[in-house]
Structure 1
C-alpha cells in the first residue's frame, strides 16, 4: 500500500465513529469495523453481510466485496493490520512488553510477574487467564489473540495509563505470527517439551515455533532461558549475537540465577536464590518443585530490569496462588482435592513427581485430554495409571473428536490400575468424591480455571461448565 493510499484510507476511517475493530462477525456490534482475512481453511469475507447486520460501519478486506458500508481493500491482511496500527498511532510502541513461552509454566510466570510489577507501575496481563489491566479483567478466545485484537487492547491499555505489558506467547501464535509486530524487551522460554503435535506435526516443528520468540526480542533486549532445559544451548546460540542472555537453574551454579537448598513441598517451597555473589531466601506459598523454576524465571526477568536481589526475593515470597494452578481444597470427608491445569505429558509428570504419596491414602486422578492431543492420549493414560490408585477418565475440550475415541486411546495402556470412563466432567468429579475417604488426594487435572468446554472443532461455540473448584465443592454424597 502506497503512502498516499494509506493516508486516504486513514482519512476515511477517521471520519467514522469507530468503536473498535473485529475479526469475527459474531463479535461485531454497533460502530465496529469488520476486518476480513482469507485463511487456508476459513475465509471471513463470506461474513460481510452478517457483520453489517450486527452493526459494522466499515469493512477492511483483502479482495473486493459487496457491501452497503464503506469498504477498504488492502493487498494483504498484514497491510490491514498496518492500517489499524496507524489508526491507533502505534500503541504497541508506547508499551514495554515481556513475552513468555514454554510447554509448561507460561501462565504462572506471566500472571505472577504482572502481580509483582503492578505494585510498581500500571501493568497488564494477556494469556490463558484472559486479559487484566486497570479495572478490567475478561476472557480471551486464545492464549495469544490475533493482531487486530491485540491492537485494540494495546490502544485501550495506553489510554488507561498502562506502561508495561506481560503476555503469554503460545506455539500456535508464534508459528502464525500473531504478535510478530510486538517488540519484546524481555523474552522468556520456560522449557520446551513435547506438545501440540497435531498442529506442528513434528517435535522439530514445535521446537522451532518456540524458538521464534527469540526473533521477537528487540536488539539489546534480554532472553531469559532455563539452563536445565535440553534446548537451552540452541536458544542461547540463537540469541547471543543480538540479545543479552539471562539463565536460571535449580542447582547448576553456571547459571546466572540459581536456586539451591530447595525444600519444595505440596504446600509451598523455600530456597536460597543466588545472583552475582549475593544470596537471598525465598519462602513461597507456591507448591512443588516446578514452581521453583517458575519463580526463577520471574526473578530473572526482574533482575534483568535492575531489581535488587532482596527485593526480588521479597516479591516472590509475597506471591499469592494463581487461579486453577496447584490449588488445594479441603473436603468435608477430610480428603483433599488438588485443582491443577496440568494437561500435557510433561506437566502431568511434574505434578505427579511433586506429590509425596506417603502423605496420602489413595490418589484418585480425574483427567481428560483435549481432542487435539489425541496422539498423546496413550502415554498420558499410562502415566496417570502408574501414579494413581484409581483413574477417572473424563472430558476436557474434545474439539470435535468422539469422546469414545479419546477414552479408547487413554485406556489402551493402563494395565491393572482400576479406572472409570465418565463423559460428564461434573459427574466424574462427583464420583471421585464418592470413592474418596479421609486422607485421600483427588487430583483434578486439566481444566484449572476454565468455566467452559470446547466440544466442536476450531473452538466454535462452547458449553458452560461450573469449573473444577465448584464441582468438587458441591454438596453431595461422599
Structure 2
C-alpha cells in the first residue's frame, strides 16, 4: 500500500489522477469496462481504459500484458492519461491486484462487482480467500462512493454481511430478482437483444449488439455505475447501443458458410456455461464447443469446465496454455467431469482442434471456440508461440471457401 501511494504521489504531486471507476469479478470485467467507457465517452468526456485487452490513455492504446498493472506502471498510466487531457478512467481490478494492493492508491468514484464463481484457487487457495480479495475493492472507494453489486449472482447477493456498514451499496439484478436497479431481456436474436433497464429513477430501453443474458447483466452494471457518476440517461442508452463488440467476447467471425463461428474468452465453468447457453438460444441447429484449460493454474475447475461444456451438442477438448503440464493429462482431468453420455472429440493440438470443430458444423449450427478470446500467444512449456483463435478460425474458413475445397466436398 505504501509503495502504491508513493508511486501515485510522485506521478501527481499537486492533485489526483483522473476520475476512476473500478470493476472486479470472476467474469465480465472486460465487457463491463468497455460498456462503461462507451457511456462516458458518449457523455462528451475523454475516457481511458486499463484492462485485460488494452491500456488506452484516451487517445491511443497499447496491448495489455496483464489485467491490472503493477503499482508503479499504474501510476505512469494515469500520468499518461492526464497528459493526454483524459479526465476519466475505467479499469479492471483483478483479485491478484487487490490481494497485492497494486491499486491501493487509486481513489474510485464507483466500483462494480460483476459476479463471483470459481477461479484462481491456485493462487488464493480457498474460495473464502478469493471472495475476500474481491471485496477489497471497497477499500479503494472515495468517501461516500458506492459499490454496485450484481445480485443476480448468488455470491454477490450475500456480500452485504461481509462489507463495512460505511460502504454505500447499490444492488442490481436481471431476471426478476429484487434489487435497487433491475433489467429484463425483452427480445433477442443471434445479433442483438432488447433490454429494458429500470434504474431507481427512470426506465431505459436499450438495443444491445452483445447477445446473452450475461451481457444484459454487464450492461445493467455499467448503467448503474454511470448513473452513480450522474451521467444522463440518454448518454447511458447511446453508450450501450454504440458498442459494436468486444474483441474475443462472443466475437462472431464473418463467414459465407451456412453456420456461425464465434470466439469467446470463456475459461471458467460459469463462463463456458453462459456462453453455450447463449449460443444455443440463438441458433436453430447444434452448438459445437471447443475448449481447453490452462496449465499450472486452478486444477479443481477442470472437471467443472468439462461438465459445463457438456451442455453443448458436440465437445472438442484441446489445449489452452498447457505451460509446463502435460496437455493430455489436462484433457483427461477435463473429461473426468463430463457425464458418461458425452463422447468428446479430443485433439491436443489447438490449431487442428479448431479445424476439427469447424468440420463438424452443418447448416444452422454454431461453432463456439472458447478459452483464449483476444489472446495472441499460446504458452507451451516455457515458449510463447504466436497464436490467435480468430485468425486461425478465419484461415480454416477461408480454406473451406476455396474453389478446390468446394469441389472436393
1:136-175 to 2 correspondence within 5 Å? Answer: 136-175=60-99
Alignment partner for residue 390 of structure 2, among 450, 466, 469? 469
Q: Secondary structure at the match of 1:174?
A: helix
Residues 1:90 and 1:106: Cα distance change in structure 2 (over 3 Å): farther
- Give the CA deviation at 1:127: 0.7
Q: Take 2:142 and 2:227, find their aligned partners in 1: how far apart are those partners? A: 18
Contact 2:39 2:238 in 1 (8 A): no
Contact 1:91 1:158 in 2 (8 A): no
- Give the CA deviation at 1:94: 2.5
1:143-166 per-position Cα deviation (integer Å, ceiling 9, x unaligned): 011111111211111111111111
Larger RCO, structures 1/2 (Cα 8 Å, 6+ apart): 2
- Give the CA deviation at 1:358: 8.1
Unaligned runs of 5+ in 2: none
Q: Take 2:314 and 2:175, find their aligned partners in 1: how far apart are those partners? A: 35
Larger Rg: 1
1:110-189 to 2 correspondence within 5 Å? Answer: 110-119=33-42, 120-189=44-113
Alignment partner for residue 367 of structure 2, among 442, 447, 463? 442
- Give the CA deviation at 1:434: 2.1
Q: Take 2:14 and 2:306, find their aligned partners in 1: how far apart are those partners? A: 46
TM score, norm. by length of structure 1: 0.77
- Give the CA deviation at 1:357: 5.9
- Give the CA deviation at 1:252: 4.1
Unaligned runs of 5+ in 1: 1-77
Instruction: Find out whether 1:421 has 2:346 as its counterpart.
Output: yes
Q: Take 1:390 and 1:204, find their aligned partners in 2: how far apart are those partners? A: 34
- Give the CA deviation at 1:417: 2.8
Q: 1:88 aligns to what?
A: 11
Instruction: Find out whether 1:291 has 2:215 as its counterpart.
Output: yes
Instruction: Find out whether 1:99 has 2:22 as its counterpart.
Output: yes
Q: 1:367 aligns to what?
A: 291
Question: What RMSD over aligned residues (CA atoms) do the two structures have, in Å?
Answer: 2.2
- Give the CA deviation at 1:316: 1.7
Q: Take 2:38 and 2:239, find their aligned partners in 1: how far apart are those partners? A: 9
Q: 1:64 aligns to what?
A: none
Q: Secondary structure at the match of 2:323?
A: coil
- Give the CA deviation at 1:268: 1.6
Q: Secondary structure at the match of 1:218?
A: coil
- Give the CA deviation at 1:238: 4.8
Q: Secondary structure at the match of 2:348?
A: coil
Residues 1:218 and 1:82: Cα distance change in structure 2 (over 3 Å): closer
- Give the CA deviation at 1:298: 0.5
Residues 1:90 and 1:405: Cα distance change in structure 2 (over 3 Å): farther
- Give the CA deviation at 1:223: 0.7
- Give the CA deviation at 1:277: 4.6
TM score, norm. by length of structure 2: 0.90
Q: Secondary structure at the match of 1:356?
A: helix
Alignment partner for residue 135 of structure 2, among 168, 186, 211? 211
Q: Take 1:79 and 1:388, find their aligned partners in 2: how far apart are those partners? A: 48
- Give the CA deviation at 1:122: 1.6
